[in-house]
Amino acid sequence: MTFMFLIVILGATHKNASLGFGGMAIGLALTLIHLISIPVTNTSVNPARSTATAIFAGADAMGQLWLFWVAPIVGAILAGIVYKFMAPNRD
């Protein structure tokens, strides 16, 4: 989900993107991420929120916490690499 969110952010804020619609595209993408991922995995999009919840939930949650940090980082790195090749290079 982080991968797709970053692709939307990078596309909406690109210098060739239409002005004034970036916020709407980013907001709708975040809404869609919540609508898809929360029912499937009970995920939170914010790793800090996942950490706070895991601290109070106990040992089982703390054992799974690493994934809530590693997956968004990997997704963001991959999105940056993919977008570099997808984005138009016109100045």
Q: For 34-52, how does the pLDDT look when each residue is reduced to its tens digit (9 = 90+)?
A: 899 888 877 777 888 888 8
pLDDT at residue 90 above 80? no
* Res 7: pLDDT: 93
Query: 41, 68 in Cβ contact below 8 A?
Result: no
Q: Which of 27, 33, 31 is nearest to 12 (CA)?
A: 27
Query: 33, 4 in Cβ contact below 8 A?
Result: yes
More confident site: 71 or 42 = 71
Q: For 14-32, how does the pLDDT look when each residue is reduced to its tens digit (9 = 90+)?
A: 888 888 899 999 999 999 9
* Res 39: pLDDT: 86
Every domain of the chain and the residues it spans = 2-86
Query: 76, 64 in Cβ contact below 8 A?
Result: no
